[in-house]
């Protein structure tokens, strides 16, 4: 009822207008868009950082290998998103450019936090200028800084937090419940991947299959972005289905 009153008064028509109770309704709509997006999970492990996402293929004629949900920002930084993926692509391409400019200018790799702040600065600008809308996407950014794996989550407001493990998207609450119960800092990348795939199978049910999984990791000692192979994904998926 309160939301309808706000809409009638026009508080949701401009991002630059606060409602009487101090809310930016366009930002809240953007957060709802994220919760409707396909699920993505990030985990910091003892040997690196891991991102796993659901491609959520809705048309059997779509080539699953052509769907990209996890992006390489730099050799040591990886990102994924939930929400409007075209918005995510703009943010991540900006991050890729910033990473390359930093490397050329300073001859050193950019740190993960700087990439996260650049993404969040652009997101925040869209919450205070009329005539544009907020980015309807949350982005997970994982990276290795000085041998230490790190994971950050950004939301449509431009806020970011550092996590040991987190989830975004439609099954966020179910995945976070599993992480709260079973995540351990001593987990390896392989152990964390098995945990996440098993959680996906339980949360998404019979419709979920191995072709919907996209996963990438960066090991702390290698600092190299790597995608999980089809064989690794299928083997882990089959093990999860047996449980």
What's 36's domain CATH number?
3.60.20.10
Band of residue 131 on the pLDDT scale cut at 50, 70, 90: confident
The range of the structural domain enclosing residue 193 comes to 2-242
Task: Tell me the per-residue pLDDT of 171-230, one tens digit each, with 9 for 90 and over.
Answer: 999 999 999 999 999 999 999 999 999 999 999 888 888 889 999 999 999 999 999 999
SS in 3 state form for the chain? CHHHHHHHHCCCCCCCCCCCCCCCHHHHHHHHHHHCCCCEEEEEECCEEEEEEECCCCCCCCCHHHCCCEEEEECCEEEEEEECHHHHHHHHHHHHHHHHHHHHHHCCCCCHHHHHHHHHHHHHHCCCCCCCCCCCEEEEEEEEECCEEEEEEECCCCCEEECCEEEECCCHHHHHHHHHHHCCCCCCHHHHHHHHHHHHHHHHHHHCCHHHEEEEEEECCCCCEEECCHHHHHHHHHHHHHC
- pLDDT of 196 reads 96
Write out pLDDT tens, residues 73-123: 999 999 999 999 999 999 999 999 999 999 999 999 999 999 999 999 999
Q: pLDDT-derived band of residue 144, with 50, 70 and 90 as boundaries?
A: very high
Global model pTM greater than 0.85: yes
Sheet of strand 225-227, all strands in order from the earlier edge strand to the far edge? 165-168, 40-45, 48-54, 213-219, 225-227
pLDDT in tens, 9-46: 567 777 778 888 888 888 899 999 999 999 999 999 99
How far is the C-alpha of 28 from the C-alpha of 33, rounded, in Å? Answer: 9
pLDDT of residue 38: 93
Q: How many domains does the chain have?
A: 1
Which two three-digit tokens encode residue 173? 């609450």
């Amino acid at each position: 009822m309160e939301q309808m009153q706000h809409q009638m008064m026009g508080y949701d028509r401009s991002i630059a207008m606060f409602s009487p109770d101090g809310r930016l309704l366009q930002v809240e709509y953007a957060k709802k868009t994220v919760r409707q997006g396909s699920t993505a999970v990030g985990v910091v492990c003892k040997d690196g950082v891991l991102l796993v996402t659901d491609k959520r293929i809705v048309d059997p004629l779509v080539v699953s290998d052509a769907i990209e949900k996890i992006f390489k920002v730099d050799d040591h930084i990886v990102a994924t998103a939930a929400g409007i993926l075209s918005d995510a692509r703009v943010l991540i391409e900006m991050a890729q450019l910033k990473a390359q400019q930093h490397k050329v200018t300073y001859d050193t790799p950019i740190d993960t936090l700087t990439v996260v702040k650049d993404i969040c600065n652009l997101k925040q600008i869209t919450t205070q200028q009329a005539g544009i809308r907020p980015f309807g996407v949350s982005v997970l950014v994982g990276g290795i800084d000085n041998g230490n794996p790190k994971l950050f989550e950004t939301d449509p407001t431009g806020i970011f937090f550092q996590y040991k493990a987190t989830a975004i998207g439609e099954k966020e609450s179910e995945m976070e419940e599993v992480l709260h119960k079973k995540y351990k800092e001593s987990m390896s990348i392989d152990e964390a991947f098995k945990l996440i795939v098993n959680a996906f199978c339980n949360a998404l049910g019979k419709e979920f299959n191995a072709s919907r999984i996209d996963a990438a990791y960066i090991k702390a000692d290698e600092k190299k972005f790597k995608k999980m192979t089809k064989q690794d994904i299928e083997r882990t998926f089959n093990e999860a289905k047996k449980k």
